[in-house]
Amino acid sequence: MKKGKFVIISGPSGVGKDTICDELVKKGMGRYSVSMTTRKKRSNEIEGISYFFVSKEEFKRHIEEDYFLEYAMYNGNYYGTPSEFIFNNLEKGTNVIGVLDIKGVLNVEKIYPEAISIFIMPPSFEELEKRIRNRNTDSEEVIKERLEIAKDEIKCKDKYDYVVINNTVDKAVEEIIQIIKFEKNICS
Ligand code: 5GP
């Protein structure tokens, strides 16, 4: 049986990664890998669906137990990808879709180079700022920090296998579906 593909969706905060992943899952392109984080839960997020929200102590315990495929620190909080879910599904031939930052992508490429990394670009920096502000979930300080991080993230876009511009969710999702189908056909 052909192995599943690990599809990594990355990109600046507010670019629409979650919406894109939701659509990919709805369209049967794979299962979503729920990450673990020490960040505070936002009001619109659901435990176990958006993230597994844990304390720093619990996260560190999981690091010691070798629970993560990779983990990274982003803006003062830990984020990590549980490895068991990913490899169980890939073995069964099911694609797994995960959201990681650039540090996570570079780490995964070292240990699992078959992963497909896709960077989602905003149509413009102004549009990105508008989207983060419209989300109404973060304080002004956090918004400013995330915009600064976004500038650095966009500079690294050439490190990814593919870059997709999120002009509209439908178009971005369609483009990603074509990428996954293409990658599944060229490697088994
Ligand atoms: P947010 O707080 O906006 O949900 O996520 C902040 C950043 O953490 C985003 O760039 C997102 O891609 C990244 N992220 C989410 N989950 C993981 C993970 O499991 N590992 C890594 N390395 N980054 C993650």
Cβ 72 under 6 angstroms from ligand 1:
yes
> What is the distance in A from the centroid of ligand 1 to the CA of 101?
5
Closest ligand 1 atom to 104 CA = 22
> What is the distance in A from the centroid of ligand 1 to the CA of 51?
10
What pLDDT, in 10s, does the model give residues 34-51? Answer: 999 999 999 889 999 999
Answer positive or negative: Cα dihedral of 29, 106, 3, 64.
negative
**Cβ atoms 14, 131 nearer than 8 A:** yes
Q: Whose CA is closest to 34, among 77, 86, 70, 76?
A: 86
Cβ 99 under 6 angstroms from ligand 1:
yes
Q: What's the first-to-final CA gap in the chain, in angstroms? A: 9
Q: Is the pLDDT assigned to residue 163 strictly greater than 70?
A: yes
Q: Is the pLDDT assigned to residue 128 strictly greater than 80?
A: yes
Identify the pLDDT of residue 136: 80
> What is the distance in A from the centroid of ligand 1 to the CA of 79?
6
Tell me the pLDDT of the chain averaged across its residues.
94
Cβ 21 under 6 angstroms from ligand 1:
no
pTM of this prediction? 0.92
> What is the distance in A from the centroid of ligand 1 to the CA of 158?
19
- Mean pLDDT along residues 162-187: 94
Q: Is the pLDDT assigned to residue 188 strictly greater than 60?
A: no
Closest ligand 1 atom to 35 CA = 19
Looking at the DSSP bridge assignments, the partners of residue 124 are none
